[in-house]
Amino acid sequence: MWDKFPELWASIVVISQILHIAKPYIPFIKNYREFNEMSLLYDSLYLLYEKLWFDYRKTNKDSKQIEKAFYSLRRKEHEISKRFKHIICPIMKGMIKESDNETDIILKTNYF
C-alpha cells in the first residue's frame, strides 16, 4: 500500500510532525483571548508591586502600612489566579531559565 501511495505516507508524516511541534502552543491558541486578558491583569499587578517597592524604598512609611498594601496585592493576585484557574499554562523550561537570567541581571543592575 505504501509503495502505491508514497505521497499519502509523506503527507501523514509531515502532518504528524507539524502537530508534534505545535502541541506545546495549542493551549495558547485555544484560549488566546483569556491568556491575553490574564497577561494584562498580571502586568498591571506587577506595576502595582513595583510601585509598592519604590514607595517602600523612598518613604518612611510604617511597615504595617506596607504589609497591608502587600497583602492587598497578594489578594488581587489570588483573585486573578482563581478567575483563570481553568487555563493551564504549559511549563516552558527554556523561557523560565531565560526570564530568571534577565531578572538576575535587572536585580544586580538596579538593587545591588
Q: Domain tally for the chain?
A: 2
Q: What pLDDT is attached to residue 1?
A: 64
Q: What pLDDT is attached to residue 35?
A: 85
Sign of CA dihedral 74, 80, 83, 88: negative
What average pLDDT does the segment 83-96 reach? 83
Burial profile 5-43: b = 16 or more Cβ within 10 angstroms, e = fewer: eeeeeeeeeeeeeeeeeeeeeeeeeebeeebeebeebee
Averaged pLDDT of the chain: 86
Q: What pLDDT is attached to residue 47?
A: 95
| Same-domain status, 59 and 94 | yes
Highest mean pLDDT among 36-50, 52-66, 82-96: 36-50
Dump pLDDT digits (tens) for 1-37. Answer: 667 778 888 899 999 999 888 877 776 677 788 888 9
| Same-domain status, 69 and 83 | yes
Q: What pLDDT is attached to residue 2?
A: 64
Q: What pLDDT is attached to residue 110?
A: 81
Contacts of 35 (CB under 8 A, 6+ apart): 28, 87, 89
| Same-domain status, 58 and 104 | yes
| Same-domain status, 38 and 91 | yes
| Same-domain status, 40 and 83 | yes
| Same-domain status, 53 and 88 | yes
| Same-domain status, 57 and 95 | yes
DSSP secondary structure letter of residue 92: -
Show the domain range for 18: 1-30
